Structure 1
């Protein structure tokens, strides 16, 4: 956030009414605000979590990471952080710590099966843009004999099978995959005993459009 500079506020009240000083302050304020912004940007660019696009450019050159103009700054930060975590080998506990730092605790589901040789990760839909970066990271640090299965955490049929058709028919298939349908009046698991006529008395709320 740009610091708002007001040179006149540093002058004693007796001088604040002088037109000449007001004109000087009006010229100095934007210059000093610009300098403050440079200082703030340089400070933020010392840390991956707060780098701006210029800072991301610098890290990507050092780490030889390719990016596109379509990448958001959050995706670029994530990719850089993933690169810095690229140090094998990892235990399952350490892998969870890495995923927690990258995605956030509770924002993914991790399943590791040494006997069946697979690692499965389901990433929250709000972080679905991170799937490729997580895949690239795990391909570098996990054993080559482990199969990787990484995808967004789509909603499954079992999550909505008890919701009556009348409450679902207005939504597209992709919406049912990626957004929670909120149906007031009863929990999904409690709808089975009701008839369609009984359920039609309830009102359903519009779904959350994020991720659609």
Structure 2
């Protein structure tokens, strides 16, 4: 919808005030756009870059340089969806939301040790998973958050000829297709 100043000036004064109205029109348009952006920034789904930056500063999230606006928006939604109480099931649900169903393994490896291993397909979410587990796990637990590296079972189907194209590090820590 166009919001032209000339439409709001009585017809008697339109000829006199037309130069003023046309020079002030860009300012009115900028003000109107700023008001719409302020409304959009109230909701994470429609927030602009400025709104996402404000949400991140409120929640104490530091964005990475390579993050897109959608990744930053997802990280904010994940942080807001973390609610108490922090239980085993709630941590499992949060990890499923972050990494995907079946893309992690969580176990108590000792009386006070929680081990969370992410699948290699979720490698990019490792830092976020570490921060989330630190926030959600009780303070008296030792936390081990790492990747589920390829094991012999996964690479046994490949021949030596096929594996010779990769380094040992790639065989261990890259997704084999």
TM range (shorter): 0.5 to 0.7
Aligned residue number for residue 43 of structure 2: 46
Would you say the 8 A contact 1:82–1:133 is kept in 2?
no
Aligned pair count reads 144
Point out where structure 2 has 5 or more consecutive residues left out of the alignment: 1-31
1:70 matches 2:66 = yes
Alignment RMSD: 3.3
TM-score normalised over the length of structure 2: 0.62
Aligned residue number for residue 97 of structure 2: 101
Alignment of 1:83-122 (within 5 A): 83-113=79-109, 115-122=110-117
Structure-2 change in CA distance of 1:61 and 1:107 (3 Å): same
Q: 1:144 aligns with which of 115, 132, 139?
A: 139
Structure-2 change in CA distance of 1:118 and 1:81 (3 Å): farther
Aligned residue number for residue 160 of structure 2: 165
Q: Which has the higher helix share?
A: 2
Point out where structure 1 has 5 or more consecutive residues left out of the alignment: 1-34, 182-212
Would you say the 8 A contact 1:123–1:153 is kept in 2?
yes
- Output one character per residue of 1:158-193: Cα deviation in whole Å (capped at 9) or x when no partner: 321353312211122333221214xxxxxxxxxxxx
- Output one character per residue of 1:40-61: Cα deviation in whole Å (capped at 9) or x when no partner: 9x6597235x755333212112
TM-score normalised over the length of structure 1: 0.54
Structure-2 change in CA distance of 1:163 and 1:126 (3 Å): closer
Q: Distance in 2 between matches of 1:44 and 1:104?
A: 28
Structure-2 change in CA distance of 1:112 and 1:51 (3 Å): farther
Indicate the larger mover: 134-143 or 160-169: 160-169
